[in-house]
């Protein structure tokens, strides 16, 4: 049965009637929360109608299904996005206007699920959007963290972390599927016995945890296709110990429950830094086991025990190594529960899994102590031992006698479980997330494995959903584009190229400029409302927004601003085009140096603001609690996109793409997807500076940051200001740690390992050129901005997902409507 879209009047009626029936009120006396709920329920009805349709069709068409396993899904708010996908956003907006409802205020009532840290989690969310848009059957699987990533507050310039209790007011977008709960088993011991001449393995004395799924619908753009994001919640099987309770031991009676439910309590805030915490391992197995058990059960319901067909119907994409335990878990289910032999189970498993690597930072590569794994998941540990035994025997044939190399490649070595080796040794495909990243995986990180089988190692450049990041976030530009090049780009983002000729069309450029201006004003309003900070939309909005990490070099940015400040202070005739440097960044709570860099940004901000002339030309603003909904307002308002990672370190970056699509011009290194942005827009429409990845590699042994300090007086001066009391007169030692790390190194490590000082002269020079160009806004700058939007289509996640599907998944689009 075809589904229809609601008209404006139907929407109005629905809202009014929901208010009446759910809350017993009307528009005039409803609270903002009630208005949000009524509106969300209306949208949800439309979405769920489509859910019913696409679910039935997937079953009928016996379509292959992808399980995208990820410890993080940073989905952002759902309501507005669903309106866009329903393609009656305009009707919704008009209905709200006619009812006299303030849209921004109501939209902001929706809690944002903060189920991710940064790029990896947001990528997963963009992928689900594109999978649905392309009608490819898929399910995202993650954990229903009760507390998402902490909320960031800045107090006296320091980051303060507050809990993010996003479920407090309920979540209208999820459906609890108790009927599909599965049991996940921890601890215990493995009893081995033989039956009918075969070895059998049984886990005894284990602790069982119930995994309860909650599903959130992800509607495809104009597609009637709904895929689900499944979030697993941990529940105790026995919520109350009745013996204890009857003895009056009330607290003890629910201790078990507390312990079990901590599994899905909180998202670890470490991004790119592995700490080997037992609870994190528990989370990883919990997610992996629940998802694999469900997938196998779902398969069996349709196809019966035809396990040879599993790879034709089910595919698992492992988003970094975090859900990598799904691999031995599938082995366990096939062998222990379905009675397959090892070889058969292994052949099937190998075909069902593919792995994406998202970082080459050594400290991010996950390794678990073997002891921890063997205690927590003993049967999985046995399987890992056997996988490792076979792997090493095989490697011995390829590299006889080369024990060192084999140890580097092994799943188990030096008393650790090496998760990347587990994934690389078993998955049918291994991909990097940009071309340069894939090359580094092939040449360095996984060199030995690549030698054995190069065709498995591919690069699929990341992408972002242009629906959320352009159509939803930037309605002004969307309307202008629709009018100028038609609406074809909504479904075929490469059509944005049609904009190219308009880069030289003065009338168009004028309107493009007006849109940017309006977006800058919208950001100003948000900053004033949320932080009480006033910003000037006539200045350049120069933005660096991403997790705080040394390799991303926010430190280089702020030190360069300090240099600029010094120039203004020293020379009364020195002028630059007025600029607002905007930072948005959360630091991992245990990452001391990252937090100190946040403090430094805020301290320099105060210093600049206190100087009469400098404050006329520069302004530093720290946007608190950078998150998806903040990004939606920030990206469209940016003039300059700062992408400063040390070359070779940023796997791809995706913020760079969001900025570009919204007409910001990049200043960046030849790293990650910046390289590909450069290839698309050409050298005139991007500002590249600094060492290349190869140069960085070659410089490690010879680089001495002290030479830069000696050679460049401006840089020396800025560094000295870190320790001479200029910044924090009351506590001149505050930033000594940063000074030391840049000039001397710490714990025996090299000084300035991310080449901050090395790249600074080149960065400063390039920033100078950029500022000059911006002053010619009409003749020069806006042309670059338009070209950036025009060339951004290739960075749509629709292109990325199409590549994954062609090269790895081989799913067939559902036939709907
Ligand atoms: C705590 C361990 C840990 C280790 C790595 C947590 C999270 C990670 C992630 C892999 C870090 C991450 O988000 N990587 C980013 O992935 C994006 C999507 O592919 C890329 O665009 C970014 O360049 C990369 O830093």
Q: What is the pLDDT of residues 79-124, one digit of tens each?
A: 999 999 999 999 999 999 999 999 999 999 999 999 999 999 999 9
Question: Residue 251: pLDDT band by 50, 70, 90 thresholds?
Answer: confident
> Is the minimum distance from the CB of 433 to ligand 1 under 6 angstroms?
yes
> pLDDT per residue over 641-678, tens digit each?
999 999 999 999 999 999 999 999 999 999 999 999 99
Q: Among 320, 658, 800, which is best to mutate for testing ligand 1, by the most ligand atoms less than 8 A from CB? A: 320
> Is the minimum distance from the CB of 652 to ligand 1 under 6 angstroms?
yes
Looking at residues 192-211, what average pLDDT do you find? 96
Question: Residue 338: pLDDT band by 50, 70, 90 thresholds?
Answer: very high
In this prediction, residue 258 carries a pLDDT of 85
> Is the minimum distance from the CB of 462 to ligand 1 under 6 angstroms?
yes
Q: How far is the CA of 588 from the centre of ligand 1 (A)?
A: 13
In this prediction, residue 252 carries a pLDDT of 86
> Is the minimum distance from the CB of 120 to ligand 1 under 6 angstroms?
yes
> Is the minimum distance from the CB of 487 to ligand 1 under 6 angstroms?
no
Please give the backbone phi and psi of residue 318, each rounded to the nearest 5 degrees, phi first: -95, 110
Query: What does pTM read for this prediction?
Result: 0.98
Between 817 and 797, whose confidence is greater? 797
Ligand 1 atom 16: residue of nearest CA: 120
Where b means 16+ CB within 10 Å and e means fewer, 116-149 reads bbbbbbbbbbbbbbbbbbbbbbbbbbbbbbbbbb
Q: How far is the CA of 311 from the centre of ligand 1 (A)?
A: 28
Task: Find how far residue 731's CA is from the centre of its chain.
Answer: 37
Q: Find all residues with CB under 8 Å of 49, minimum gap 6, and list them.
A: 3
What span, in angstroms and rounded, lies between the C-alpha atoms of 815 and 57?
8
In this prediction, residue 231 carries a pLDDT of 98
Q: How far is the CA of 604 from the centre of ligand 1 (A)?
A: 29
Ligand 1 atom 11: residue of nearest CA: 272
Contact 272, 361 (CB under 8 A): yes
> pLDDT per residue over 452-464, tens digit each?
999 999 999 999 9
Average confidence score pLDDT of the chain: 97
Q: How many angstroms separate the Cα of 416 from the Cα of each of 139, 264, 284, 419?
A: 31, 25, 16, 9
Question: Residue 2: pLDDT band by 50, 70, 90 thresholds?
Answer: low
Q: How far is the CA of 68 from the centre of ligand 1 (A)?
A: 16
In this prediction, residue 233 carries a pLDDT of 98
> Is the minimum distance from the CB of 650 to ligand 1 under 6 angstroms?
yes
- For residue 116, the surrounding DSSP H or E stretch is none
What span, in angstroms and rounded, lies between the C-alpha atoms of 637 and 653?
19
In this prediction, residue 255 carries a pLDDT of 82
Please report how many Cα atoms fall inside a 13 Å half-sphere around the Cα of residue 377, on the Cβ side.
28
Q: Does residue 12 surpass a pLDDT of 90?
A: yes
Q: How far is the CA of 410 from the centre of ligand 1 (A)?
A: 23
Secondary structure in 3-state letters for 698-753:
HHCCCCCHHHHHHHCHHHHHHHHHCCCCCCCCCCCCCCHHHHHHHHCCCCCCCCCC
Q: Among 68, 69, 117, 118, which is best to mutate for testing ligand 1, by the most ligand atoms less than 8 A from CB? A: 118
Please give the backbone phi and psi of residue 584, each rounded to the nearest 5 degrees, phi first: -135, 125
> pLDDT per residue over 697-720, tens digit each?
999 999 999 999 999 999 999 999
Question: Residue 239: pLDDT band by 50, 70, 90 thresholds?
Answer: confident
Q: How many CB atoms lie within 10 A of CB 22?
A: 13
Closest ligand 1 atom, CA of 320?
Answer: 10
Q: How many residues does the chain have?
A: 817
Contact 574, 616 (CB under 8 A): no
Residues with catalytic function = 358, 546-547, 552, 654, 658
> pLDDT per residue over 274-316, tens digit each?
888 999 999 999 999 999 999 999 999 999 999 999 999 999 9
Question: Residue 393: pLDDT band by 50, 70, 90 thresholds?
Answer: very high
Contact 545, 585 (CB under 8 A): yes
Question: Residue 78: pLDDT band by 50, 70, 90 thresholds?
Answer: very high
Contact 291, 319 (CB under 8 A): no
In this prediction, residue 1 carries a pLDDT of 54
> Is the minimum distance from the CB of 123 to ligand 1 under 6 angstroms?
yes
Ligand 1 atom 4: residue of nearest CA: 272
In this prediction, residue 274 carries a pLDDT of 87
476 burial via Cβ count (<10 Å: 0-12, 13-18, 19+): middle
Ligand 1 atom 22: residue of nearest CA: 653
Contact 74, 116 (CB under 8 A): yes
Closest ligand 1 atom, CA of 366?
Answer: 2
444 sits in the region (left: phi over 0; alpha: psi -120 to 50; else beta) called: alpha
Looking at residues 60-75, what average pLDDT do you find? 97
What sign does the CA torsion over 323, 327, 333, 334 have?
positive
In this prediction, residue 276 carries a pLDDT of 83
> Is the minimum distance from the CB of 653 to ligand 1 under 6 angstroms?
yes
Q: Find all residues with CB under 8 Å of 294, minimum gap 6, and list them.
A: 180, 182, 213, 230
Dig out the tokens for 517 from the structure. 């201006």
What span, in angstroms and rounded, lies between the C-alpha atoms of 566 and 694?
33
In this prediction, residue 275 carries a pLDDT of 87
Report the DSSP beta bridge partners of residue 459.
Answer: 432
Contact 540, 619 (CB under 8 A): no
Percent of the chain with pLDDT over 90: 94
> Is the minimum distance from the CB of 270 to ligand 1 under 6 angstroms?
yes
From the list 423, 427, 407, the residue with the least C-alpha distance to 415 is: 407
How is the chain split among helix, strand and coil, in percent rounded to 5? Answer: 55, 15, 30
In this prediction, residue 257 carries a pLDDT of 86
> Is the minimum distance from the CB of 174 to ligand 1 under 6 angstroms?
no
Question: Residue 412: pLDDT band by 50, 70, 90 thresholds?
Answer: very high
What span, in angstroms and rounded, lies between the C-alpha atoms of 803 and 810?
10
Q: Among 118, 120, 279, 803, which is best to mutate for testing ligand 1, by the most ligand atoms less than 8 A from CB? A: 120
Which residue's entry shows tokens 């001397």?
Answer: 744
Q: How far is the CA of 802 from the centre of ligand 1 (A)?
A: 22
Q: Does residue 611 surpass a pLDDT of 70?
A: yes
> Is the minimum distance from the CB of 671 to ligand 1 under 6 angstroms?
no
> pLDDT per residue over 754-775, tens digit each?
999 999 999 999 999 999 999 9
Least confident of 190-194, 248-252, 426-430, 570-574: 248-252
């Amino acid at each position: 049965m075809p589904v229809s879209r609601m008209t404006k009047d139907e929407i109005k009626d629905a809202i009014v009637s929901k208010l009446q029936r759910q809350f017993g009120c009307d528009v005039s006396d409803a609270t903002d929360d009630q208005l949000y709920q009524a509106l969300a329920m209306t949208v949800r009805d439309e979405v769920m109608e489509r859910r019913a349709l696409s679910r039935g069709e997937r079953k009928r068409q016996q379509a292959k299904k992808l399980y995208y396993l990820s410890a993080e899904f940073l989905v952002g708010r759902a309501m507005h996005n669903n309106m866009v996908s329903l393609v009656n956003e305009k009707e919704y907006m008009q209905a709200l206007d006619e009812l006299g409802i303030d849209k921004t205020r109501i939209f902001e009532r929706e809690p944002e699920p903060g189920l991710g840290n940064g790029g990896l989690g947001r990528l997963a969310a963009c992928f689900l959007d594109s999978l649905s848009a392309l009608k490819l059957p898929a399910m995202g699987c993650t954990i229903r963290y009760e507390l998402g990533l902490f909320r960031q507050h800045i107090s006296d310039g320091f980051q303060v972390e507050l809990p993010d209790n996003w479920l407090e007011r309920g979540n209208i977008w999820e459906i609890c599927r108790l009927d599909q709960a599965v049991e996940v088993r921890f601890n215990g011991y493995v009893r081995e016995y033989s039956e009918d001449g075969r070895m059998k393995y049984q886990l005894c004395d284990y602790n069982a945890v119930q995994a309860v799924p909650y599903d959130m619908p992800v509607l495809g753009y104009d597609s009637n296709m709904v895929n689900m994001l499944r979030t697993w919640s941990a529940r105790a099987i026995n919520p109350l110990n009745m013996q204890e309770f009857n003895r009056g031991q009330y607290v003890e009676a629910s201790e078990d429950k507390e312990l079990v439910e901590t599994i899905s309590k909180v998202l670890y805030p470490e991004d790119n830094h592995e700490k080997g915490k037992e609870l994190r391992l528990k989370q990883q197995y919990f997610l992996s086991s629940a998802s694999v058990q469900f997938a196998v059960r779902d398969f069996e319901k349709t196809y019966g025990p035809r396990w040879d067909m599993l790879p034709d119907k089910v595919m698992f994409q492992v988003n970094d190594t975090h859900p990598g335990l799904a691999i031995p878990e599938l082995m366990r289910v096939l062998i222990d529960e379905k009675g397959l032999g090892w070889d058969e189970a292994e052949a099937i498993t190998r075909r069902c899994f593919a792995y994406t690597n998202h970082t080459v930072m050594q400290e991010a590569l996950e390794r678990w102590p073997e002891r921890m794994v063997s205690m927590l998941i003993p049967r999985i540990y046995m399987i890992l031992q056997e996988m490792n035994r076979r792997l090493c025997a095989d490697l011995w044939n390829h590299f006889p006698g080369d024990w060192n190399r084999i140890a580097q490649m092994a799943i188990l070595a030096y008393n650790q479980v090496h998760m990347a080796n587990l994934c690389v040794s078993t998955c049918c495909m291994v991909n990097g997330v940009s071309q340069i990243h894939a090359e580094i995986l092939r040449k360095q990180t996984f060199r030995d494995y690549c030698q054995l089988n190069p065709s498995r190692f591919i690069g699929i450049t990341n992408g972002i959903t242009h629906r959320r990041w352009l159509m939803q976030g930037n309605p002004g530009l969307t309307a202008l584009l629709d009018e100028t090049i038609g609406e074809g780009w909504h479904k075929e983002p490469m059509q944005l190229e049609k904009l190219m000729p308009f880069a030289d069309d003065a009338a168009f450029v004028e309107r493009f400029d007006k849109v940017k201006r309006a977006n800058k004003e919208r950001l100003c309003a948000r900053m004033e409302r949320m932080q009480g900070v006033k910003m000037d939309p006539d200045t350049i909005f120069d933005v660096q927004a991403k997790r705080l990490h040394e390799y991303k070099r926010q430190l280089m940015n702020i030190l360069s601003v300090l240099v600029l400040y010094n120039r203004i202070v020293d020379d009364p005739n020195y002028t630059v085009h007025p600029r607002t440097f905007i930072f948005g960044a959360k630091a991992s709570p245990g990452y001391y140096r990252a937090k100190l860099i946040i403090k430094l940004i805020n301290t320099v901000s105060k210093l600049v603001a206190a100087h009469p002339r400098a404050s006329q030309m520069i302004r530093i603003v720290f946007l608190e609690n950078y998150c998806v909904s903040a990004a939606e307002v920030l990206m469209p308002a940016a003039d300059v996109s700062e992408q400063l990672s040390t070359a070779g370190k940023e796997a791809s970056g995706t913020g760079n793409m969001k900025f570009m699509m919204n007409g910001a011009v990049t200043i960046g290194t030849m790293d990650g997807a910046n390289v590909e942005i450069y290839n698309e827009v050409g050298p005139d429409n991007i500002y590249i500076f600094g060492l290349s990845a190869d140069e960085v590699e070659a410089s490690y042994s010879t680089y001495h940051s002290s030479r830069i300090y000696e050679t460049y007086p401006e840089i020396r001066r800025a560094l000295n200001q870190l320790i001479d009391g200029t910044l924090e007169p009351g506590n001149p030692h505050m930033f000594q740690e940063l000074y030391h790390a840049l000039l001397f190194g710490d714990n025996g490590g090299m000084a300035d390992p991310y080449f901050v000082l090395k790249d600074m002269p080149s960065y400063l020079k390039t920033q100078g050129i950029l500022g000059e160009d911006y002053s010619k806004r009409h003749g020069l700058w806006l042309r670059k901005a338009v070209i950036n939007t025009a060339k951004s289509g290739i960075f749509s996640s629709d292109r990325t997902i199409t590549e994954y599907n062609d090269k790895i998944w081989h799913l067939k689009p559902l036939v709907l409507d």
